[in-house]
């Protein structure tokens, strides 16, 4: 008998599969596996229909509790079946103490709360998903042709186009502004060859500074709700992503040229809003999936 779940994790970029080993660590792949979709590396989907199968109890593992909370947040916020969710930070990544010792399969139910809490994921509304995939497809194609002179892969050269598009959205549309700036920033982090080009160091530093200013203003002006982000998963995942981008930019050796600074956060200005704890309010209009 298969152990059904309502969530499919994306294919790990590190080749790890997380198994719900209800029948032991060496359980068959037909039992308890969170089925991975290798074509959806960036995202996974909430499954459709069915009934909730995981109930919180003293015997429920931290991983199962985390997945249950994710499902409840998605239902609470009205996300439809098929909504995409993406990794910002996997449970195990290079640099973690256990990374060199784990195999291709990890027993998810035996993970500690500390390990599970490393997981950072963002729920992606359709508008953000579409923009993100468009940017990723564009830069993937551009860098595949980068063996020839190809201006399309020069982020610094066409940043002004993004800048104009972003400003044209207007100040009243926080969700659209987040969709655009997150998609652009994620894509240039994913395809980061531009950052190693030293032919325009001043322009590169200016671009990073301008991008950081857009992020500062966005985070200072809008709450998590106004940006379309839940506080439990997506909002903290956003800051994890921005910190990773900051580390990437500021870690580049500039050999005496203009240092890159990505100051994206005004700590005293950021607006937040509290949600009730999962389970505090009934979710009568939604049902858990299996």
DSSP 160-214: HHHHHHHHTT-TT-HHHHHHHHHHHHHHHHHS-GGGG--TTHHHHHHHHHHHHHH
Regarding whether 145 and 231 lie in a shared domain, the answer is yes
C-beta of residue 88 within 8 angstroms of C-beta of residue 44: no
**Alpha-carbon span 133 to 44, nearest angstrom:** 14
Regarding whether 108 and 199 lie in a shared domain, the answer is no
227, part of any domain: yes
DSSP 8-state secondary structure symbol assigned to residue 39: T
Regarding whether 162 and 119 lie in a shared domain, the answer is no
- Domain boundary among the residues 124, 156, 175 is at 124
- Domain boundary among the residues 124, 155, 183 is at 124
86, part of any domain: yes
Regarding whether 246 and 131 lie in a shared domain, the answer is yes
Q: What is the pLDDT of residue 182?
A: 98
Q: What is the pLDDT of residues 201-224, one digit of tens each?
A: 788 899 999 999 999 999 999 999
Regarding whether 161 and 77 lie in a shared domain, the answer is no
Regarding whether 98 and 108 lie in a shared domain, the answer is yes
- pTM for this one? 0.77
Regarding whether 130 and 113 lie in a shared domain, the answer is no
Q: What is the pLDDT of residue 255?
A: 81
Q: What is the pLDDT of residue 51?
A: 39
Split into its structural domains, the chain has a count of: 2
Boundaries of domain holding 27: 17-124
- Domain boundary among the residues 69, 93, 124 is at 124
Give per-residue burial for 218-227: e unless 16+ CB within 10 Å, then b. bbeebebbeb
**Alpha-carbon span 64 to 80, nearest angstrom:** 21
Regarding whether 130 and 117 lie in a shared domain, the answer is no
Regarding whether 226 and 207 lie in a shared domain, the answer is yes
Regarding whether 244 and 130 lie in a shared domain, the answer is yes
Can you give the pLDDT of all 290 residues of the chain as single tens digits? 333 344 567 778 888 888 875 434 343 333 333 333 333 433 433 433 343 433 444 478 999 899 889 988 988 999 887 788 899 999 999 999 999 888 888 888 899 999 999 999 999 999 999 999 999 998 888 877 755 445 545 888 889 999 999 999 987 789 999 999 999 999 999 998 888 877 677 888 999 999 999 999 999 999 999 999 999 999 999 999 999 999 999 998 878 777 889 999 875 444 444 433 333 332 222 223 32
Cα–Cα separations (whole angstroms), residue 15 to 37, 137, 277: 12, 22, 34
Helices (H), 56-125: 62-76, 113-116
Contact partners, residue 79, CB within 8 Å, separation at least 6: 46, 123, 125
139, part of any domain: yes
């Amino acid at each position: 008998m298969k152990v059904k779940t309502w969530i499919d994790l994306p294919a790990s970029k590190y080749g790890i599969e997380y198994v719900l080993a209800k029948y032991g660590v060496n359980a068959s792949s037909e039992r308890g596996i969170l089925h991975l979709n290798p074509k959806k590396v960036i995202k996974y989907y909430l499954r459709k229909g069915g009934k909730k199968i995981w109930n919180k109890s003293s015997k429920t593992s931290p991983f199962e509790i985390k997945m249950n909370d994710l499902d409840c947040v998605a239902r609470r916020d009205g996300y439809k079946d098929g909504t995409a969710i993406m990794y910002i930070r996997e449970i195990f990544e290079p640099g973690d103490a256990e990374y060199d010792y784990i195999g291709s399969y990890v027993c998810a139910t035996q993970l500690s709360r500390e390990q599970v809490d490393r997981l950072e994921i963002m729920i992606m509304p359709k508008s953000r998903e579409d923009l993100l995939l468009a940017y990723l497809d564009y830069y993937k194609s551009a860098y595949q042709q980068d063996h020839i002179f190809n201006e399309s892969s020069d982020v610094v050269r066409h940043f002004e186009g993004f800048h104009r598009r972003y400003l044209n959205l207007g100040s009243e549309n926080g969700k659209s502004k987040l969709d655009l700036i997150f998609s652009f920033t994620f894509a240039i982090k994913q395809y980061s060859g531009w950052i190693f080009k030293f032919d325009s160091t001043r322009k590169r530093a200016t671009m990073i500074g301008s991008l950081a200013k857009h992020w500062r203003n966005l985070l200072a002006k809008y709450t998590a709700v106004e940006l379309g982000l839940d506080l439990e998963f997506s909002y903290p995942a956003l800051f994890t992503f921005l910190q990773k981008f900051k580390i990437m930019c500021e870690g580049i050796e500039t050999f005496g040229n203009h240092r890159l600074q990505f100051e994206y956060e005004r700590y005293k200005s950021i607006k937040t809003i509290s949600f009730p704890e999962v389970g505090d309010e009934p979710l009568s209009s939604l049902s858990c999936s299996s």
